[in-house]
Amino acid sequence: MIGKIELLEAIAGKNRGLLANENDKLAIMALVAQLEDRNPTPRPTEATDLLEGNWRLLYTTSQELLGINNLPLFNLGQIYQCVRTQDTKIYNIAEVSGLPFLESIISVTATFIPVSERRVNVRFDRAISGLQRLFDYQNPDNLIKQIESGKKFLGIDFAITSREQKGWLDITYLDEDMRIGRGNEGSVFVLSKS
Protein backbone atom coordinates (compact mmCIF):
# COMPACT_ATOMS: atom_id res chain seq x y z
CA MET A 1 0.00 0.00 0.00
CA ILE A 2 1.16 3.52 -0.79
CA GLY A 3 2.52 5.12 2.36
CA LYS A 4 3.27 1.87 4.17
CA ILE A 5 6.65 1.37 2.50
CA GLU A 6 7.54 5.02 3.12
CA LEU A 7 6.66 4.70 6.80
CA LEU A 8 8.71 1.51 7.17
CA GLU A 9 11.67 3.22 5.50
CA ALA A 10 11.32 6.28 7.75
CA ILE A 11 11.34 4.25 10.97
CA ALA A 12 14.11 1.87 9.85
CA GLY A 13 17.23 2.47 11.91
CA LYS A 14 15.41 4.57 14.51
CA ASN A 15 15.49 1.79 17.15
CA ARG A 16 11.76 2.07 17.92
CA GLY A 17 12.10 5.82 18.35
CA LEU A 18 15.18 5.92 20.57
CA LEU A 19 17.32 7.32 17.73
CA ALA A 20 14.70 9.62 16.18
CA ASN A 21 15.51 13.33 16.26
CA GLU A 22 12.80 16.02 16.15
CA ASN A 23 12.80 16.19 12.32
CA ASP A 24 12.54 12.39 12.12
CA LYS A 25 9.61 12.42 14.54
CA LEU A 26 7.75 15.07 12.52
CA ALA A 27 8.28 13.20 9.26
CA ILE A 28 7.24 9.87 10.80
CA MET A 29 4.10 11.36 12.34
CA ALA A 30 3.12 12.86 8.95
CA LEU A 31 3.50 9.42 7.35
CA VAL A 32 1.53 7.80 10.18
CA ALA A 33 -1.33 10.28 9.65
CA GLN A 34 -1.34 9.61 5.88
CA LEU A 35 -1.53 5.88 6.45
CA GLU A 36 -4.29 6.27 9.06
CA ASP A 37 -6.32 8.17 6.44
CA ARG A 38 -6.08 5.06 4.22
CA ASN A 39 -6.97 2.51 6.91
CA PRO A 40 -8.26 -0.59 5.03
CA THR A 41 -10.11 -1.86 8.14
CA PRO A 42 -12.76 0.71 9.13
CA ARG A 43 -13.95 -1.33 12.15
CA PRO A 44 -10.70 -2.72 13.59
CA THR A 45 -12.11 -3.84 16.95
CA GLU A 46 -14.42 -6.20 15.07
CA ALA A 47 -11.59 -7.61 12.89
CA THR A 48 -10.51 -10.16 15.49
CA ASP A 49 -8.77 -12.35 12.90
CA LEU A 50 -6.46 -9.43 12.04
CA LEU A 51 -5.97 -8.27 15.65
CA GLU A 52 -5.12 -11.74 16.97
CA GLY A 53 -1.45 -12.62 17.29
CA ASN A 54 1.94 -11.40 18.39
CA TRP A 55 2.86 -7.88 17.33
CA ARG A 56 6.42 -6.51 17.45
CA LEU A 57 6.88 -2.81 18.17
CA LEU A 58 8.59 -0.97 15.32
CA TYR A 59 8.20 2.61 16.53
CA THR A 60 6.66 4.51 19.42
CA THR A 61 6.53 7.97 20.94
CA SER A 62 5.85 6.45 24.41
CA GLN A 63 8.47 7.81 26.77
CA GLU A 64 7.39 5.20 29.32
CA LEU A 65 8.47 2.38 26.97
CA LEU A 66 11.53 4.11 25.56
CA GLY A 67 12.58 5.04 29.11
CA ILE A 68 13.30 1.37 29.87
CA ASN A 69 16.48 1.92 27.86
CA ASN A 70 17.66 4.43 30.51
CA LEU A 71 18.07 1.77 33.22
CA PRO A 72 21.76 1.51 34.15
CA LEU A 73 23.60 -1.37 32.42
CA PHE A 74 20.53 -2.39 30.41
CA ASN A 75 19.49 -2.03 26.77
CA LEU A 76 15.95 -2.27 25.52
CA GLY A 77 15.52 -5.27 23.24
CA GLN A 78 12.42 -6.34 21.33
CA ILE A 79 9.01 -5.26 22.58
CA TYR A 80 5.94 -7.34 21.83
CA GLN A 81 2.24 -6.81 22.28
CA CYS A 82 0.48 -10.15 22.08
CA VAL A 83 -3.28 -9.93 21.54
CA ARG A 84 -5.58 -12.83 22.43
CA THR A 85 -8.99 -11.73 21.18
CA GLN A 86 -10.97 -14.72 22.46
CA ASP A 87 -9.80 -14.05 26.02
CA THR A 88 -9.74 -10.23 25.53
CA LYS A 89 -6.17 -10.22 26.86
CA ILE A 90 -3.09 -8.22 25.95
CA TYR A 91 0.42 -9.24 26.99
CA ASN A 92 3.04 -6.49 26.75
CA ILE A 93 6.51 -8.04 26.84
CA ALA A 94 9.81 -6.12 26.75
CA GLU A 95 13.09 -8.02 26.40
CA VAL A 96 15.96 -6.26 28.17
CA SER A 97 19.61 -7.16 27.67
CA GLY A 98 22.57 -6.16 29.75
CA LEU A 99 25.44 -7.84 31.46
CA PRO A 100 25.85 -11.54 30.62
CA PHE A 101 23.29 -13.72 32.41
CA LEU A 102 21.27 -10.64 33.44
CA GLU A 103 18.95 -10.59 30.42
CA SER A 104 15.54 -9.67 31.76
CA ILE A 105 11.85 -9.53 30.94
CA ILE A 106 9.37 -6.81 31.83
CA SER A 107 5.78 -7.85 31.19
CA VAL A 108 2.39 -6.34 31.90
CA THR A 109 -0.85 -8.18 31.24
CA ALA A 110 -4.10 -6.40 30.58
CA THR A 111 -7.73 -7.02 29.75
CA PHE A 112 -9.32 -5.05 26.93
CA ILE A 113 -12.93 -4.20 26.21
CA PRO A 114 -13.99 -2.87 22.79
CA VAL A 115 -16.08 0.26 23.36
CA SER A 116 -16.39 1.48 19.75
CA GLU A 117 -15.45 0.36 16.25
CA ARG A 118 -11.84 1.46 16.85
CA ARG A 119 -11.35 2.03 20.61
CA VAL A 120 -10.63 -0.48 23.35
CA ASN A 121 -10.52 0.31 27.05
CA VAL A 122 -7.54 -1.30 28.73
CA ARG A 123 -7.28 -2.43 32.36
CA PHE A 124 -3.85 -3.59 33.53
CA ASP A 125 -3.99 -6.73 35.66
CA ARG A 126 -0.49 -7.99 36.46
CA ALA A 127 3.15 -6.87 36.27
CA ILE A 128 6.04 -9.30 36.04
CA SER A 129 9.77 -8.59 35.86
CA GLY A 130 12.83 -10.74 36.32
CA LEU A 131 15.68 -12.62 34.73
CA GLN A 132 14.96 -14.50 31.51
CA ARG A 133 16.89 -17.52 32.83
CA LEU A 134 14.72 -17.78 35.94
CA PHE A 135 11.57 -17.49 33.81
CA ASP A 136 12.82 -20.09 31.32
CA TYR A 137 11.99 -17.43 28.73
CA GLN A 138 12.23 -18.61 25.14
CA ASN A 139 9.69 -16.41 23.30
CA PRO A 140 6.46 -14.50 23.97
CA ASP A 141 4.22 -17.57 23.46
CA ASN A 142 6.24 -19.54 26.01
CA LEU A 143 5.92 -16.73 28.59
CA ILE A 144 2.17 -16.32 27.97
CA LYS A 145 1.65 -20.05 28.47
CA GLN A 146 3.45 -19.82 31.83
CA ILE A 147 1.42 -16.75 32.88
CA GLU A 148 -1.88 -18.41 31.95
CA SER A 149 -0.95 -21.57 33.85
CA GLY A 150 -0.99 -19.46 37.03
CA LYS A 151 2.75 -19.69 37.61
CA LYS A 152 4.17 -17.33 40.24
CA PHE A 153 7.48 -15.94 38.98
CA LEU A 154 10.70 -15.31 40.90
CA GLY A 155 11.48 -11.61 40.80
CA ILE A 156 8.74 -9.01 40.68
CA ASP A 157 5.24 -10.43 40.22
CA PHE A 158 2.20 -8.58 41.48
CA ALA A 159 -1.44 -7.91 40.67
CA ILE A 160 -2.40 -4.40 39.60
CA THR A 161 -5.58 -3.52 41.43
CA SER A 162 -6.02 0.22 40.91
CA ARG A 163 -9.64 0.97 40.11
CA GLU A 164 -8.69 4.42 38.84
CA GLN A 165 -7.24 3.08 35.58
CA LYS A 166 -8.70 4.75 32.54
CA GLY A 167 -6.42 3.51 29.78
CA TRP A 168 -7.62 3.23 26.21
CA LEU A 169 -6.18 2.65 22.77
CA ASP A 170 -7.53 3.70 19.39
CA ILE A 171 -6.61 1.31 16.58
CA THR A 172 -6.16 3.78 13.75
CA TYR A 173 -4.74 1.44 11.10
CA LEU A 174 -4.95 -2.33 10.74
CA ASP A 175 -4.08 -4.74 7.95
CA GLU A 176 -2.71 -8.29 7.82
CA ASP A 177 0.78 -7.31 9.02
CA MET A 178 0.73 -3.73 10.39
CA ARG A 179 -1.14 -2.02 13.19
CA ILE A 180 -1.03 1.61 14.32
CA GLY A 181 -2.54 2.75 17.57
CA ARG A 182 -2.87 5.93 19.59
CA GLY A 183 -3.07 5.72 23.37
CA ASN A 184 -4.83 7.86 25.95
CA GLU A 185 -1.53 9.56 26.90
CA GLY A 186 -0.96 10.72 23.32
CA SER A 187 1.55 8.03 22.43
CA VAL A 188 1.66 6.46 18.96
CA PHE A 189 2.55 2.81 18.38
CA VAL A 190 3.50 1.21 15.05
CA LEU A 191 3.66 -2.59 15.15
CA SER A 192 4.19 -5.45 12.73
CA LYS A 193 2.77 -8.95 13.08
CA SER A 194 5.56 -11.34 14.00
Written as tens digits, the pLDDT of the chain (194 aa) is 668 999 999 999 999 999 999 999 999 999 999 999 999 999 999 999 999 999 999 999 999 888 888 877 778 999 999 999 999 999 999 999 987 888 999 999 999 999 999 999 999 999 999 999 999 999 999 999 999 999 999 889 999 887 666 789 999 999 999 999 999 999 999 999 99
Gap between the Cα atoms of 192 and 55, Å rounded: 5
d(CA 115, CA 2): 30
Alpha-carbon gap, residue 39 to 32, rounded angstroms: 11
Per-residue pLDDT, 1: 62
What was the pLDDT predicted at 164? 65
- How many helical (H) and strand (E) elements, i.e. helices and strands, does the chain have? 6, 9
Give the pLDDT of residue 73: 75
What pLDDT, on the 0 to 100 scale, is given for residue 69? 84
- Residue 71 is classified by DSSP as S
Q: Which residue, among 194, 169, 163, 174, has the nearest Cα to 184 in the 3D structure?
A: 169
Query: Which residues lie across from 109 on neighbouring strands?
Result: 91, 126
Tell me, what's the pLDDT at 83? Answer: 98
